[in-house]
Amino acid sequence: MEWIYKLSITSYSIHYNQNLVQGLQWNESGDFLSIGDSLGKIQIFDVNNSSEILSFRNHNDRIGSVAWKDDNIIATGSRDKQIICTDIRSRFPFQTFKGHQQEICGLKWSFDNQMLASGGNDNKLFVWSLKSHNYLYKFNQHKAAVKAIAWNPHQHGVLVSGGGTMDKSIRFWNTQIGKQVDQIETNSQVCNLVFSKNQNEFVSTHGFQDNEIIVWKYPTLQKIACLTGHSCRVLQLGLSPCSTKIVTGAGDQTLRFWDIFQEKNQVQQNFKQYQSVLDSKFDLR
């Protein structure tokens, strides 16, 4: 699920082929929408001009995961077990990653765009670099499919992943040293993860049996809030551009909007107030 933040038109209809849509992703600027289908084809649409600008097929099976690196490079993960990186300016793939033994179900670029994390139905989590065909790290600790992946924008190299129904854990990785550094047992399937860009907090969404949305503090891993309302597992999650709101989608056929994070200026103001209190205490001593 992606939050549309630059669209100035009230509605936009894409006349798509008969193949099933498997993956949707906006590029960084919000100008292009990529669609991966059940036969391994990618189509890219310019929403400002209401036109398709690119179509290609690099995979032999469905594309379930798509991740943009800036506005020009797109990574696609497929049931053919491959991750392919394509520069839309040249329209040709320039890097292929092979390591997963089953379908890729999660992809996420680091915030500095230097590393790509991938999760698969083989319960594996990989970290890749465009500088090499080989993976940087391979993590085997999860006991179920790894769909939920998030990078911490506040601490370089911190990667978070969530496991499926047979795993139910959130794991934290330091990709600078290639080790797991922490873990949360959630007692339910972890469907999605996303960090706030304004403060060091993140959201996880869950499946059976509670179908919860949980807000956590990092690195203390304190549970800040537990949100309920969905009657089925929360399979989709999107963060607003201002990083204060999220939208969730579930099998109960509802979208729910939540106001959960502070605005950036409010975070800075709170920090200044906190800093002022510390200064006052220091002066008193």
Q: Mean pLDDT across the stretch 203-226?
A: 96
At 141, list the tokens.
């600790």
- Decide if 60 is inside a domain: yes
Model confidence band, residue 94 (pLDDT cutoffs 50, 70, 90) = very high
Angle at 149 between CA 148 and CA 151, to 5 degrees: 150
At 148, list the tokens.
């939920």
Q: What is the CATH number of the domain that holds 7?
A: 2.40.10.480
Q: Mean pLDDT across the stretch 97-107?
A: 98
Domain total in the chain = 1
- Whether residue 282 has pLDDT greater than 50: no
Q: Mean pLDDT across the stretch 165-171?
A: 98
- Decide if 236 is inside a domain: no
To the question of pTM greater than 0.85 for the whole model, the response is yes
pLDDT of residue 271: 38
- Whether residue 273 has pLDDT greater than 90: no
- Decide if 271 is inside a domain: no
Q: Which domain holds residue 86?
A: 1-98
- Decide if 281 is inside a domain: no
- Decide if 279 is inside a domain: no
- Whether residue 17 has pLDDT greater than 90: no
pLDDT of residue 264: 77
pLDDT of residue 19: 74
- Decide if 85 is inside a domain: yes
pLDDT of residue 256: 97
Q: Are 139 and 124 in contact (CB under 8 A)?
A: yes
CA dihedral 87, 88, 90, 93 (to 10 degrees): 50
- Decide if 201 is inside a domain: no
More confident residue, 17 or 62: 62
The proportion of the chain whose per-residue pLDDT surpasses 70, expressed as a percent, equals: 86
- Decide if 70 is inside a domain: yes
